[in-house]
Amino acid sequence: MKKIAILGSTGSIGTQALDIIARNPDKFKATVLSCSKRIRQLERQIETFHPEMAVVQREEDAVRLAEKYPEIQVEFGDQGLIRAAESSCDMVLNSLMGIRGMVPTYHGLCAGNDIAFANKETLVAGGELIMRTAEETGAKLLPVDSEHSAIFQCLQGNPEKAVRRILLTASGGPFRGYSRKQLEQVTLEQALKHPKWTMGSKITIDSASMMNKGLEVIEARWLFDTEPDRIQVVVHPQSIVHSAVEYWDGSVIAQMGKPDMRIPISYAFCYPQRLENRMSPLDLFTEGKELTFEEPDMEVFRNLRLAYDACRTGGSCTAALNGANEVLVQLFLEGKIRFTQIQDTIEKVLNRHEPKYNLDLEGILEADRQARQSALDLL
């Protein structure tokens, strides 16, 4: 039985992972559950899955949970997440949102735990450090993002040197085909209506601005040791082809499936085997009847171009890109800035940023902090 520590068990990825565990009690055991604010939901999960450890954000919540569930270890805050990632388990599923997910990933790898990660910021901000740490400890990094899981699957059985380019698909979000002028008028309500996926608010806004795809380009650059110019973003509104790999002989191998995150989660849990899912299979005669592909508009959706530029420059630029984006998306969610101010301000932050290289963990976090402050100063 595989013991799995779930960081972010009350979010979309975490709840779907627990659904897989509940359906396969002979294969998996959830040993750690964690959340930030959804304490009641976490309590229901504790009573259902009986973990060894629970982690919450606030100390007062931890005190109350420890009194209610004396049989489990209760931790809190960022140190609690680190202890969870270092705990005795077979795999850590990191579905935390934002840069705060990078530190537990690093410590989990140092402890030798395999990491299944939906936290793309881990590699966006700290790709060089994280990949080096995984190589040194021998721990596996297994992607849970649907696109990177698709690429990972397409690479199986093929030498990486035979790859010509990676084709990273994007739904296009709710504003596909918009002009810059139209983009300036969009509302928060419109931006939160993703046409295909049900996700948290931050990642939904990132998808609407195309920053999510920019972050995924940087993630793919590190995870698959590929230059950014060999990663092509392809807008595919149907979200049936989750990504593809083109080889030097002209072959293109794609991974297709319904837009359901339980597929990449279960693949990461069982790799290199596959787990039987009870969901209805993809019907090519209906859902796959019409598949279309388009080039992204990087002049309207400048976040994607900015991500490519930051990836090419490397060093602390990608941490700065991510840090500025995180603080700006939060301001947009709070109704304090317009949608287009996200990409406009990120561009200014990057123009002011002086890249630094070969950073350790503290150096990456400092670059993140400075970029956030720079964004606020510019506003």
Q: What is the pLDDT of residue 279?
A: 80
Ordered per-residue pLDDT tens for the chain, 379 residues:
999 999 999 999 999 999 999 999 999 999 999 999 999 999 999 999 999 999 999 999 999 999 999 999 999 999 999 999 999 999 999 999 889 999 999 999 999 999 999 999 999 999 999 999 999 999 999 999 999 999 999 999 988 789 999 999 999 989 999 999 999 999 999 999 877 766 778 989 999 999 999 999 999 999 999 999 999 999 999 999 999 999 999 999 999 998 889 999 999 999 999 998 878 889 989 988 899 999 999 999 999 999 999 999 999 999 999 999 999 999 999 999 999 999 999 999 999 999 999 999 999 999 999 999 999 999 9
pLDDT digits (tens, 9 = 90+) for 16-65: 999 999 999 999 999 999 999 999 999 999 999 999 999 999 999 999 99
Q: What is the pLDDT of residue 199?
A: 75
Q: Is-contact 35 42, C-beta < 8 A? A: yes
Q: What is the pLDDT of residue 197?
A: 67
Q: What is the pLDDT of residue 194?
A: 79
